[in-house]
Structure 1
Amino acid sequence: MCRSIKTLRPPVTEQVGDDDIRAAALQYVRKVSGFHRPAAHNQAAFDEAVNAVAAATHQLLADLVVRGSGARRSA
């Protein structure tokens, strides 16, 4: 699922920005919903889902401890 979403954690990706996280969230919501572009009556739900997934991704990346680094990553 979502094969075009790249891994965002180090050391796979050293520099991860908000644009990277948002793109991954958008791709995930597109895949799960089955909509590339939702109809107007679904746009708010679609946008809310993208925002929620992006926020969860930010939190996940901030909380991950990469083996050998001994420190949490700041996203």
Structure 2
Amino acid sequence: MLNLKTGILEKNYKVTDLKIKNKHMRQRLNALGLNQGTSVKIKQKCLFKGPCILEINGQNLSIRGCDACQIFLEEAHG
């Protein structure tokens, strides 16, 4: 499955599932607008287990590598 760590830079995606187990982290991401169905663009990926920077609703958000692997995507058409 495609996730934030395996996605391609500067390509538009749609979030299909968040499998983050930490409920507090999940609530924070929801408050920032990252939830199922949200449009996302991957701006930068760091090497190894570093963070990913993504664009959501015109704002940039940095997510830890371990959390980025648990956010699943699909290509946005159009």
TM over 0.5: no
Give TM-score, length-normalised by structure 2: 0.26
With structure 1 as the length reference, what TM-score do the two structures score? 0.26
Q: Which has the larger radius of gyration?
A: 1
More strand by share: 2
Q: Which has the higher contact order (CA 8 A, sep 6+)?
A: 2
